[in-house]
Amino acid sequence: MKKFSVKTIVAIGIGAALFFVLGRFVSIPSPVPNTTINVQYGLLAFMSIIYGPIAGALIGLIGHALIDFSFGWGIWWSWVLASAAFGALMGIAGTTRKLRCEIGKESILPFNVCQVICHIFSWGVIAPALDIAIYQEPMEKLFAQGLMAGVGNAVTTAIVGTLLCVAYAAAKPKAGSLNKED
């Protein structure tokens, strides 16, 4: 089993805390009941690509569980697991060379294609299927919520996640940039 570095463990803690704060205090109401548009998925996508699928899954799992717990209605495990799945899928996708954030602007299109696919799978398949299996929720409601969550989260991830990836690429030192020229 691969051991986590201290850096990855700290990233999971900070990522889950930021996911919680953004999800709890910066969510945008949607016209679909019990569904919000969330900016924290841009952060989750970015962190998953940088730190990998296990870190991404844990950030999504812990952060979403804390959000649900803080509202007082209990933890809605189907959506918590969908957030974890989104983080894991983005982390897996981040292992491909074209999706590496340090590449810069060339990774914007692959990043956004990937995040849309991951959102569709997480909110269009995983969350509704688990809602049916765990909570016996009505299908019409579930797919309306899943569609709203998937589209809203994909849009906010395209904005927030892309900005984070571009900023990360710009801040990363380029090879040979620290050499002193005489």
- Flag whether 179 is in a domain: no
- Flag whether 82 is in a domain: yes
Structurally, the chain folds into a number of domains equal to 1
* Percent of the chain with pLDDT strictly greater than 70: 89
- Flag whether 146 is in a domain: yes
- Flag whether 178 is in a domain: no
- Flag whether 29 is in a domain: yes
- Flag whether 21 is in a domain: yes
For the chain, list residues with pLDDT below 70.
1-2, 97-104, 174-182
Domain that holds residue 51: 6-171
pLDDT for 138 equals 85
- Flag whether 90 is in a domain: yes
Name the residue among 98, 77, 9, 84 with its Cα closest to residue 53: 84
Measured in degrees and rounded to the nearest 5, phi and psi for residue 53 equal -70, -35
pLDDT for 98 equals 61
- Residue-wise pLDDT for 35-83, tens only, equals 899 999 999 999 999 999 999 999 999 999 999 999 988 899 999 999 9
- Flag whether 99 is in a domain: yes
CATH code of the domain in which 95 resides: 1.10.1760.20
Biggest CA-to-CA distance, the chain = 71
